[in-house]
Amino acid sequence: MTEEATAGAQANQAVRERLLAEGLRLFTSKGYAGTTVREIVEAAGVTKPVLYYYFNSKEGIYLELMEGAYTIFGERMRELVGKSGSARDRMEILCLGIFDAFLEFIDVARLIYAIYFGPAQGAPQFEHDQAFDWMLDAVRTVVAEGIASGEFRPGDPADMTWVIIGCLNVCMEEQLCRNDPRINRDDTKRMLALILDGISRGDAK
């Protein structure tokens, strides 16, 4: 493969990536129906048939963005699961890891949330619950192990799981919905500690 071939392949990818980046930005800020193909291609600096060349349709680029978003979060979840240590430590690593991933890929996250809560608006169907369910399963696993090991109190693992998820969820949502979020990572850590203090065994303060 010559250097020319590499440059050509890279030019391909550059156009494609530009379209995806602009598509992500615009779908996120305007929604599926509110975003036109014209504005995506104009932002990417190409003409309209180029989008159809690479993605076949408006739906095509949208679905590719969705698949990419879920892939990113799935990989990050896998990295965060399977750590070792006390249940409390692992919970902290897991939740703050999720929070950090959220911030790192906040545009992607915003798109996922927008789809999850937002109206369908003619967008093609996609399995929407996956990212949330991954999170739920991971937290539930750590809770169950904490109860089994005696580190957390006996109780309903589902309740504990949902309280933790609720806390993490509201912290993440705050990052999405405000230019000046009222909750940061340290707040999240403290709030998590408050919950874990409450469900830990040997809590006699």
Partner DNA sequence: ATTTATATACCTACCGGTAAGTACACCTAT
Partner DNA sequence: ATAGGTGTACTTACCGGTAGGTATATAAAT
Tokens in use for 33?
């129906």
Tokens in use for 165?
């998820």
116 near its own copies, judged by CB under 8 A = yes
Residues 86-115 as x/- pattern, contact with its own copies by CB under 8 A: ---------------------------xx-
CB contact at 8 A, 124 and 59: yes
- Phi and psi at 183, nearest 5°, equal -125, 130
Closer Cβ to DNA, 59 or 133, answer by number: 59
The 3-state DSSP class for residue 200 equals strand
175 near DNA, judged by CB under 7 A = no
Question: Which whole-number Å values give the CA distances from 91 to 4, 43, 138, 180, in the listed order?
Answer: 50, 42, 9, 27
Task: List binders of DNA among 25-54 (CB under 7 A).
Answer: 35-39, 46-50, 52-54
Q: How far apart are CA 81 and CA 83, in angstroms?
A: 6
In the complex, what is the shortest distance from the CB of residue 123 to DNA, in angstroms, rounded to a whole number? 11
Residues 154-183 as x/- pattern, contact with its own copies by CB under 8 A: -xx-xxx-xx-xxxxxxx-x--xxx----x
The site for its own copies (CB under 8 A) is made up of 27-35, 113-114, 116-122, 129, 153, 155-156, 158-160, 162-163, 165-171, 173, 176-178, 183, 187, 190-191, 194-195, 197-199, 203-205
